[in-house]
Amino acid sequence: MNLTSLSLIELREAIQKKEIKAEEALLAHLKKIEERENEISAFITVLGEQALVQARKIDRKKEKGRLAGIPIAIKDNMVTKGIRTTCASRILGNYLPPYSATVVQKLEAEDAIVIGKTNLDEFAMGSSTENSAFFLTRNPWDLRRVPGGSSGGSAAAVAAEEATAALGSDTGGSVRQPAAFCGVIGLKPTYGRVSRYGLVAFASSLDQIGPLTRTVEDCAFLTQIIAGHDLCDSTSSAQPVPDYQEEMKERLNPIKAAYLGEKILEGIGLEVKDIYYKTLQLLEESGAQLFEKEFPLWKYALPCYYIIAPSEASSNLARYDGVRYGFRDPDYSNLREMYVQTRTEGFGEEVKRRILLGTFALSSGYYDAYYLKAAKTRSLIYQEFQRTFEEVDYILTPTTPEPAFLIGEKKDDPISMYLSDIFTITANLAGLPAISLPAGLSRGGLPLGFQIIGKHFHESDLFRLAFLIENKVKFYRYKIKLPRKEE
């Protein structure tokens, strides 16, 4: 039995039936990490010894949690008590948090094993995981290409079988875009469905934690565990959490969905468009009613996002000043010099770019022209979605405009990099749930993603439709062939 290739549900059942031990499952994954990490570099921190102690404790327990023995990777912008949390930034390079994020506490309460902390774009700012202060992560499908971002380490770890599942964070597509590039499932839940307590803030009104898994059922099960109200997060919802795993298998109501008109799809890759239309055809053959929708405000989502997100980042990142925690430049003669030199050396290029953008948008004389206008546009985008959801239950889009691009291809062209999120950003602006699942391969053998956007707190509907598509597409037939970098 190849333990690392099992889905979360399969591995869980094998451990519950005592066919294997938690220690065996963990050792198999640690071996896979040892074999592949030199090429992929998904992890900033691997918790070998600590995880092994936890696995042995679980094996001795009589009453085990729902995730007993499941190795799960955590994006390194979620705090973990006593375990280094860096946000892939020099400014937090040796930070040891005194508490764990709520989602991590929920996983550990169900006896999941945190196998390590995964790489990301610094402070989750990027779409390729090339902006990490430590190293870049490579796509397991093609080591010359990026895994997406900012949750690229988490997506790569799941795709490469280094972890059974992972958690990422999604501010403008940072779970769904790497999920599409790496051929896995990625969910951005409704804003407030999952607690953000312990997630290092990038843009607080947009950030949401979500799972990355190999199957839709795994995603539904993991979401059920991490979702729910949290007294430590005033933005978390008190709505009851359904049994997503059971509801996912219920019969679908007649499917009514909107798909994107040609204007929005202009300029995207032909292979992406081809897979998109083939998936729509599969749904039509299954009895779905599909309606073309132009979404006139969609074109404003990207500029709207790149005013709101940097503005919030500018505010959130003001706390990294070298005074209380994190990196402090040792060579300074006064307080102002310490602030300037600490932030200059501690932050990377992309983080500085977004702080500057956000500070400018919020500055006196420009606030009304930029930030206020973006906030109003965001409300209009939300209203456009609400009108659409009066007629349909789903909005169907590609996840990305192209397959995974080559490492370095967009590094010096931030605008081109930002366009990677053209299909994902709207769900964050409107606070809607959205899921990406693999729908096929490009001619070059790279995964292509299909996105489903749903109504607020209708994650069960997303899982049902994604489950239907998963069974039609049967993406699991495609296997990663790990190439060498020199190829």
- Identify the H or E element spanning 256: strand 256-260
> What tokens does 160 get?
């490469």
Other beta carbons less than 10 A from residue 38's beta carbon: 8
Angle at 435 between CA 433 and CA 438, to 5 degrees: 170
Given the structure tokens 């500085």, which residue do they identify?
352
**Is-contact 271 279, C-beta < 8 A?**
no
Q: Which of 75, 117, 411, 455 is catalytic?
A: 75
End-to-end alpha carbon distance in the chain: 31
- The Cα 387–Cα 140 span in angstroms is 40
Q: Write down the residue that tokens 């939300």 correspond to.
A: 382
Q: Which two tokens stand for residue 235?
A: 């933005």
- SS3 for 448? strand
Phi, psi at residue 421, to the nearest 5°?
Answer: -100, 15
Catalytic, out of 7, 41, 174, 314: 174
What distance in Å separates the CA atoms of residue 461 and residue 468, rounded to the nearest whole number?
Answer: 11
What residues pair up with 46 in beta bridges, in sequence order? 116
Please indicate whether residue 420 is annotated as part of the active site: no
Distance CA(223)–CA(195), nearest Å, equals 11
- Token pair, residue 343, equals 């932030």
Which pair of structure tokens corresponds to residue 269?
A: 């890759």
Q: Which two tokens stand for residue 91?
A: 């400014």
Q: Using CA atoms, how far apart are residues 48 and 384, in angstroms rounded to an integer?
A: 48
Least Cα distance to 169 among 92, 242, 247, 88 occurs for 88
- Decide if 41 is catalytic: no
Residue of 7, 128, 132, 150 marked active site: 150
Q: What value, to the nearest 5°, has the Cα angle with vertex 405 and ends 399 and 411?
A: 110
Q: Is 75 a catalytic residue?
A: yes
**CA gap 340, 352 in Å, rounded:** 12
Specify the amino acid at residue 112: A
Question: How many CB atoms lie under 10 A from the CB of residue 281?
Answer: 12
Q: Which of 450, 348, 434 is nearest to 170 (CA)?
A: 434
Minimal CA–CA distance to 282: which of 463, 424, 465, 434?
Answer: 465
Catalytic residue numbers? Answer: 75, 150, 174
